[in-house]
C-alpha cells in the first residue's frame, strides 16, 4: 500500500502490521496528550510539584533528553569537524535521535511553565545573566540546526526526492552540512553547559552550587562533557535496540566501535573531572557553607537520597562503562558493549536527576526538612509521551527514509521487494524491543 514511499532495496513489514504498531504506540502518546490538556486547562496543580520542588520530573526529563540528544552534536562534530568519516553511517540516526530529543525537550518546556502563553517572554525580555535564557536561546537555535540537519534526510524519501527542487535542496544542504554542524556544536556546547549552570549558579543551594571560571560554574563544563560522552552512548544504545527490534544489522561494527571508543575516552575524561569536582566540592565548597558531604546523603526520609547515588553515578555508571568502552575487548563483546552504553546512559540520567531533584530536596534552612516528591500520573504520562513520540518518529523515519546507509549492503535482498517478510517485530516483541529503560527519546 505504501510501498511507493519505502526506500528502494530494503524490506519493511506489511502495512497493516505497521499501522497496528503505530496505533499501539500512538495510544500511549494520546494518554500523554490528554495529560497535557489537563495541565493546560487546569494548571500545574495537576502535578505533584510544590513550592519546594519547583523543578521536578519534567525538568529532569528535559535535562536528560537534551544530554542524551547530545549524540547528535557530538557525532556531527566528530564527523564534520574532526573528520571521522566512518561516522557518516550513523550520523543520520544520531541526528534523528537528537531531533526527537530536542523536540521533546521543547515540548516539555512548553507545558512545564506556568504561563505557556507567554513563555516567549524568555526571548523577548531576555535576561542574559540567566542560565535558563542561555539554554532557551541555544536550545531553540540548535533545534533549528537539527531541523536543518534532518531535512535533507527527509527530502531523500523516494517520492520527495523525485521533485527536482527538493532533490537539489537536499544535495546542497549536504554539501555545506559542516557549517551547520559547526554551528550546532557551538550552540550545543553552550546550552548543554548552561543546563549544567542551572544548578551550578544557585549559590543558595549548596548541593548544586559550584565554583567555576568567569560566569560558568564547573557544572557547566561537566554537563557539556557528560553530554558529549553519554549522547553517543545513547545513539549506540538506540541503534542496538533498533537492530534488535527489526532483527537485522543496520550499522557496521567498526562504526559502532569507533563511536564507542571515542565515547569511552570522553567518559574517562569526564569521570576524572567529575571525581575531582566531587572531591573539591565535598572537601571545600560544601564545608565553606557549613555542610559535610554526608549532610547531603543522610537522614532523609526513607533514605531515598543515600550515598549509594554517588557510588552508582560515579562508579557503576561512570568508571565501569568507561573502562569497558576504552578496552578493545569490551567494545567487541556485544553484551559488554550494550551494558556499557546502557550504564553510561543511566549514569547521565542519574546525574541529571541528582542535579535537579536532590538539589531541591536537601534542606538548606536548618529548621526545614527534606522535601519529598512523587510524580503525579499526569507528570508520568507527559514524560512517557516523548518516548512514544520518539518511537513513532523512529518507526516512520526508518520505514520511509534511508536512515541507515549501510542497511542495503548489510541486508541484501534477492527478490526485488518482498513485503511479506516481517521486519518489524512480532506482535509480542515490540514492547520488548522498543520499551526497555532508555527509549528513543530517553526518558
Q: Name residues contacting another protein, limited to 197-256 (CB under 8 A).
A: 198, 201-206
Task: Sort 1 into a burial class: Cβ within 10 Å, 0-12 / 13-18 / 19+.
Answer: exposed
Cα–Cα dist 223/9, whole Å: 41
Select the span of 124-132, 314-322, 332-340, 391-399 touching another protein (CB under 8 A): 124-132
Q: How many CB atoms lie within 10 A of CB 343?
A: 23
Q: Does 52 bind another protein (CB under 8 A)?
A: yes
Contacts of residue 62, defined as CB under 8 A and 6 or more positions apart, other chains included, come to: 105, 108, 109, 112
Contact residue for another protein among 8, 23, 124, 414 (CB under 8 A): 124
Nearer to another protein, 27 or 176 (CB): 176
Cα separation of 396 and 12, whole Å? 11
Pick the binder of another protein from 4, 8, 127, 415 (CB under 8 A). 127
Range 164-183, binding another protein (CB under 8 A): 164-169, 171-174, 176, 179-180, 183
If one asks whether residue 38 binds another protein (CB under 8 A), the answer comes out as no
216-217 vs 212-213, strand pairing mode = antiparallel
Nearer of residues 276 and 294 to another protein, judged by Cβ? 294
Q: Among residue numbers 344 through 373, which ones bind another protein (CB under 8 A)?
A: 359-360, 364-368, 371
Determine which residue in the list 45, 159, 254, 303 makes contact with another protein, applying CB under 8 A: 45
Tell me the three-class secondary structure of 354-399, residue by residue: HHHHHHHHCCCCCCCCCCCCCCCHHHHHHHHHHHHHHHHHHHHHHH
Query: Alpha-carbon distance 245 to 430, whole Å?
Result: 7
- Bridge partners of 212, per DSSP, are 217
Q: Does 16 help bind another protein (rule: CB under 8 A)?
A: no
Helix (H) or strand (E) segment spanning residue 249: none
| 432 contributes a contact to another protein by CB under 8 A | no
Exposed e or buried b per residue across 11-48, where buried means at least 16 C-beta atoms within 10 angstroms of its C-beta: bbbbeebbeebbeebbebbebbbebbebbeeeebebbb
Closer to another protein by Cβ: residue 44 or 326: 44
Our finding on whether 137 is near another protein (CB under 8 A) is yes
**Binders of another protein: how many residues, by CB under 8 A?**
79
Interactions with another protein, residue window 103-122 (CB under 8 A): 112-122
Query: Residue 286 and residue 158: Cα distance in Å, rounded?
Result: 58
User: What's the N-to-C CA distance of the chain in angstroms?
Assistant: 34
Stretch touching another protein by CB under 8 A, among 22-30, 53-61, 235-243, 424-432: 53-61
- For another protein, the closer CB: 136 or 384: 136
Binding segment toward another protein, per CB under 8 A, in 62-70, 281-289, 322-330, 430-438: 281-289
Q: Name which of 17 and 406 has its Cβ closer to another protein.
A: 406
* Smallest gap from residue 122 Cβ to another protein (A): 5
Amino acid at each position: 500500500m505504501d510501498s511507493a514511499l519505502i526506500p528502494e532495496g530494503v524490506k519493511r513489514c506489511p502495512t497493516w502490521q505497521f499501522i497496528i504498531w503505530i496505533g499501539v504506540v500512538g495510544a500511549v502518546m494520546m494518554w500523554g496528550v490528554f495529560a497535557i490538556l489537563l495541565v493546560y486547562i487546569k494548571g500545574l496543580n495537576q502535578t505533584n510539584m510544590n513550592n519546594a520542588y519547583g523543578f521536578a520530573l519534567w525538568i529532569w526529563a528535559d535535562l536528560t533528553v537534551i544530554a542524551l540528544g547530545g549524540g547528535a552534536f557530538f557525532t556531527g562534530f566528530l564527523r564534520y569537524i574532526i573528520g571521522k568519516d566512518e561516522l557518516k553511517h550513523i550520523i543520520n540516526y544520531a541526528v534523528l535521535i537528537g531531533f526527537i530529543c530536542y523536540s521533546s525537550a521543547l515540548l516539555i518546556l512548553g507545558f512545564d511553565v506556568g504561563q505557556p502563553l507567554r513563555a516567549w517572554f524568555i526571548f523577548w525580555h531576555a535576561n542574559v545573566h540567566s542560565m535558563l535564557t542561555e539554554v532557551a536561546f541555544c536550545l531553540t537555535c540548535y533545534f533549528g540546526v537539527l531541523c536543518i540537519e534532518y531535512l535533507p534526510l527527509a527530502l531523500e524519501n523516494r517520492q520527495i526526492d523525485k521533485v527536482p527542487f527538493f532533490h537539489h535542496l537536499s544535495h546542497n544542504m549536504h554539501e555545506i552540512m559542516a557549517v551547520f554542524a559547526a554551528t550546532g556544536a557551538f550552540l550545543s556546547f553552550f546550552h548543554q553547559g548552561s543546563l549544567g549552570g542551572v544548578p551550578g549558579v544557585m549559590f543558595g543551594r549548596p548541593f548544586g552550587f559550584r565554583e567555576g571560571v568567569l560566569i560558568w560554574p564547573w557544572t557547566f563544563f561537566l554537563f557539556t562533557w557528560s553530554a558529549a560522552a553519554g549522547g553517543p552512548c545513547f545513539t549506540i544504545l538506540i541503534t542496538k535496540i533498533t537492530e534488535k527490534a527489526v532483527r537485522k544489522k543496520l550499522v557496521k561494527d567498526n562504526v559502532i566501535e569507533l563511536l564507542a571508543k571515542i565515547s569511552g575516552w570522553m567518559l574517562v575524561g569526564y569521570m576524572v573531572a567529575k571525581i575531582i569536582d566531587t572531591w573539591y566540592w565535598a572537601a571545600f565548597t560544601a564545608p565553606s557553607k557549613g555542610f559535610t558531604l554526608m549532610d547531603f546523603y543522610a537522614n532523609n526520609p526513607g533514605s531515598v537520597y543515600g550515598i549509594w547515588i554517588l557510588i552508582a553515578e560515579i562508579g557503576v555508571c561512570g568508571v565501569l562503562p568507561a573502562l569497558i568502552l576504552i578496552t578493545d575487548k569490551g567494545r567487541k563483546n556485544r553484551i559488554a558493549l550494550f551494558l556499557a552504553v546502557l550504564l553510561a546512559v543511566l549514569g547521565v540520567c542519574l546525574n541529571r536527576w541528582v542535579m535537579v531533584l536532590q538539589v531541591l530536596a536537601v534542606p538548606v534552612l536548618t529548621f526545614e526538612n527534606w522535601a519529598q516528591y512523587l510524580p503525579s500520573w499526569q507528570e508520568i504520562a507527559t514524560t512517557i509521551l516523548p518516548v512514544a513520540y520518539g518511537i513513532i518518529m523512529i518507526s516512520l523515519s526508518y520505514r520511509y527514509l534511508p536512515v541507515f546507509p549501510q542497511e542495503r549492503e548489510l541486508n541484501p535482498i534477492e527478490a526485488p521487494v518482498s513485503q511479506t517478510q516481517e521486519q518489524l517485530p512480532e506482535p509480542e516483541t515490540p514492547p520488548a524491543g522498543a520499551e526497555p529503560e532508555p527509549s528513543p527519546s530517553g526518558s
